[in-house]
Every structure is written in C-alpha cells, then in structure tokens.
C-alpha cells in the first residue's frame, strides 16, 4: 500500500523511541513534527529527516498529513487529540489514553463523532510471549485458567523529588499503577476479559514524594476468575506475567531494559510451561514437567504503528481503540479509589461516576 503520511506531535524521549521503530517501515512516511520547544522540534526533524512545523495549527492545515502520532504529556492528551481529530486527521496516542476519566470519555466521544481511525499504544500485548499465552489459553492447553499474576516494577520512585509530575497524585494517579500498571492491566483484559472489580492497597515507600510508590491490586474478572497486579517504584526493574490453569501453568519474564529496542525485545524474554507428567497409568504417580515454550518474535512498537497505518487504509482493524483504552484507565482509577477508601471498587462505579 502507499505509505501513510504522518506527523509527530510531542518529541520527547518516547517520540524518539517510536520513531526509531516506525521510520524504517514502508507503511508510513514521517513528513513533519511539532513541539512546544522549537529547539527540540527542530532537532527531532533533523534526526529523522522530516520538516518542522511552527505550530500545531499549521501542521493540521496541511493536506498531505493523514495521521498524527501524539506523545505529549498525559494530561494534555484530550485537548491535543480533540484538535487533531476535529481537523480530520487520524490519531495514534501513547498509553494511557488519559489520567482523568472525563478526559478519556471526551476523547472517545470525539473519535466517535469524527469517525477518524484511533489507536492507543498498548504494545505489551504484542510481545511474542504474550501472544503465545493467549494462543495457549484459547486452545485449552492450560485447562481452565483460574488466576493470573502480573508484576511491573522499577526504581523510578527512588529518583523522584518534590515537584516532579510523576510524584503528583493528580497528574499520575497511583504512581506506578498509572505509569507501569496500565501495561499489565491491558494484558490482563486482553488475556482474561473485562475486569469487574478491584481492591488495592498502596502507600509511599522509600521516596521523597507523597504519591504511592508501592501498590498491590487484587482483580476479579467478569467471568469470575481472579488476578493479582503488583506495581512498585522502589526496586530494580521487573516485568512478569504468570497464568495458572487446571492442567498447566505459564511463567513469562521480560528484561524490560530492552523494551525500547523493540526489534530485539522478544530475544530478552522467556516463557516457561509447568504441567503434570504421568509416570504410569496410576493417576497419583505423576510429577511436574518444566520446559521452555517457543514463540514467534515480534516488533511490538513497529507492529502497532503499521496496524494504525493499515487501518487508515482500510486494510486492518485497530486492536486497541478508544473503548478498550478507556476501560484500562477505569481499572487504574478504580484501584486508586479503592486505595483511598479501603474497599473493593467495581469498574462500573467508575464509569458511571
């Protein structure tokens, strides 16, 4: 297909990571960019061989721009996305869709009103190991799954200082629950279906900010299965996802230090299957067999941008649209409310509130 001509709005660290992944793709062509800091914007333009637009308004007036990659701060998503969508441009935005439910719902409403193609970047579900877990669960290879465990942690809370936006409960509700946990929340709902309710305990630990840095969340899915999510900003990095079935368990681990190198991320991950092995016809004569599971390698960042481009051309369907992204944020906000009020909180309560 002809390359989709795109623009980048917001050129911070993650915009560069994404551009490294998608600029080699034949499906997209980076034409221009915009940033509130002209110096950073011009440096980005020079690095990736595109033009620099002096304003967002000027960028959106261009007839040769079809889609916009939005990587501005989370609390600016709604205003930027509405402006882009009203101009008739398709939108990709990095997760989370927003950190305020009303802003998330505003984005969803604008997307529906304008009819643009919209994608929220939840690339963790595209990792080869997670794709394989989905395949094995659906095939019945694990029996009946009862629960999952997910952990995403790093040392960010140890580095935070008063005044940092990540330490602000309004800009980053629940700290690592928003910044890290939303990745695993999307994985949970991708693998297990919608979350019904959550119960969260969390508090600031080993940090100079008031925001929570260590949280534990219990999850009940709509089908009655269970889950656990641990998010921690006070330890070395950890990214794991485990699934427990009646006949087999799966244990996935990723070295998150390779997350930004999406062409080789899967090479730094592993998937282990543990299952019963019968040693004879006697059902009690059995042991546990453990072995690695092979899975296809992906390029999780490039793959989602290519899907976005193909959806614009009508050749694909966006996997994580506005509704899925809103539901991920609703789980985060339910966890924040649960921690504040020391009670289980249903997702529907957040959506209706």
Mean of all residue pLDDT scores within the chain: 96
pLDDT category of residue 131 using cuts at 50, 70 and 90:
very high
Residues whose CB falls within 8 Å of the CB of residue 234, separated by 6 or more in sequence, listed in order:
153, 155, 157, 158, 205, 206, 207, 213, 214
DSSP string, 106-167: HHHHHHHHHT--EEEE-GGGGSHHHHHHHHHHHHTTT-SEEEEEEEEE-SHHHH--TT-GGG
* Same domain assignment for residues 35 and 161: no
* Same domain assignment for residues 163 and 287: yes
Q: In what order do the strands lie in the sheet with 145-153?
A: 286-292, 269-278, 248-254, 238-245, 145-153, 226-232, 214-221, 195-203, 345-346
Domain assignment present for residue 50? The answer is yes
Q: What pLDDT shows up at residue 59? A: 98
Domain assignment present for residue 68? The answer is yes
Domain assignment present for residue 352? The answer is no
Determine whether 14 is exposed, middle or buried from the number of CB atoms within 10 Å of its CB (0-12, 13-18, 19+). Answer: middle
Q: What pLDDT shows up at residue 1? A: 82
* Same domain assignment for residues 177 and 189: yes
Q: Is 80 exceeded by the pLDDT of residue 281?
A: no
* Same domain assignment for residues 292 and 312: no
User: Range with the lowest mean pLDDT among 56-60, 258-262, 282-286?
Assistant: 282-286
Domain assignment present for residue 159? The answer is yes
273: enclosing H helix or E strand: strand 269-278
Q: What is the CATH number of the domain that holds 187?
A: 3.30.360.10
* Same domain assignment for residues 208 and 137: yes
* Same domain assignment for residues 35 and 182: no
Tell me how far apart the alpha carbons of residues 218 and 241 are, in angstroms, rounded to a whole number: 14
* Same domain assignment for residues 16 and 64: yes
Domain assignment present for residue 184? The answer is yes
Host domain of residue 287: 124-298+329-347
DSSP state of 26: T
Q: Is 90 exceeded by the pLDDT of residue 83?
A: yes
- Is the backbone peptide bond immediately before 21 cis, with ω within 30 degrees of 0? no
User: pTM for this structure?
Assistant: 0.95
Q: What pLDDT shows up at residue 286? A: 72
Q: What pLDDT shows up at residue 12? A: 95
* Same domain assignment for residues 96 and 152: no
* Same domain assignment for residues 239 and 129: yes
* Same domain assignment for residues 67 and 151: no
* Same domain assignment for residues 105 and 228: no
Number of domains in the chain: 2
Q: What pLDDT shows up at residue 339? A: 98
Q: What pLDDT shows up at residue 280? A: 61
Domain assignment present for residue 353? The answer is no
Q: What is the pLDDT of residues 291-315, one digit of tens each?
A: 999 999 999 999 999 999 999 999 9
Whether the CA torsion 18, 24, 25, 29 is positive or negative: it is: positive
Q: What is the pLDDT of residues 163-205, one digit of tens each?
A: 998 999 988 999 999 999 999 999 999 999 999 999 999 999 9
Q: Is 90 exceeded by the pLDDT of residue 161?
A: yes
Q: What is the CATH number of the domain that holds 74?
A: 3.40.50.720
Q: Is 80 exceeded by the pLDDT of residue 148?
A: yes
Determine whether 24 is exposed, middle or buried from the number of CB atoms within 10 Å of its CB (0-12, 13-18, 19+). Answer: exposed
Domain assignment present for residue 46? The answer is yes
Q: In what order do the strands lie in the sheet with 51-52?
A: 51-52, 28-34, 4-9, 67-70, 90-94, 118-121
* Same domain assignment for residues 129 and 76: no
Domain assignment present for residue 241? The answer is yes
């Amino acid at each position: 297909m002809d390359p989709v001509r795109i623009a980048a709005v917001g050129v911070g660290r993650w915009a560069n990571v994404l551009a490294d992944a998608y600029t080699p793709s034949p499906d997209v062509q980076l034409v221009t960019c915009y940033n509130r800091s002209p110096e950073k914007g011009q440096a980005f333009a020079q690095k990736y061989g595109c033009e620099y637009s002096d304003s967002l308004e000027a960028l959106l007036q261009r007839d040769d721009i079809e889609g916009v990659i939005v990587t501005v701060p989370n609390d600016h998503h709604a205003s930027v996305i509405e402006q882009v969508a009203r101009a008739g441009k398709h939108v990709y935005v990095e997760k989370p869709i927003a950190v305020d439910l009303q802003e998330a719902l505003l984005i969803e409403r604008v997307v529906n009103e304008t009819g643009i193609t919209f994608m929220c970047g939840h690339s963790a579900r595209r990792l080869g190991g997670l794709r394989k877990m989905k395949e094995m669960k659906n095939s019945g290879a694990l029996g009946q799954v009862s629960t999952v465990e997910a952990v995403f942690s790093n040392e960010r809370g140890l580095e935070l200082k008063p005044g940092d936006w990540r330490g602000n409960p309004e800009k980053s509700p629940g700290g690592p629950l928003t910044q890290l946990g939303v990745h695993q929340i999307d994985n949970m709902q991708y693998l297990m279906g919608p979350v019904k309710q959550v119960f969260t305990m969390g508090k600031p630990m080993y940090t100079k900010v008031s925001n929570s840095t260590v949280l534990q969340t219990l999850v009940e899915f709509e089908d009655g299965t269970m889950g656990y999510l641990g998010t921690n900003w006070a330890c070395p990095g950890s990214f794991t996802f485990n699934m427990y079935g009646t006949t087999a368990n799966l244990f996935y681990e990723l070295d998150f230090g390779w997350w930004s190198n999406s062409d080789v991320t899967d090479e730094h991950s592993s998937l282990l299957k543990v299952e019963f092995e019968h040693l004879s016809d006697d059902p009690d004569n059995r042991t546990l067999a453990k072995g690695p599971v092979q899975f296809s390698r992906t390029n999780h960042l490039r793959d989602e941008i290519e899907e976005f481009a193909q959806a614009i051309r009508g050749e694909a369907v966006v996997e994580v649209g506005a509704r899925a992204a809103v539901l991920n944020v609703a789980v985060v906000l339910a966890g924040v409310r649960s921690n504040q009020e020391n009670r289980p909180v249903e997702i529907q309560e957040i959506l209706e509130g």
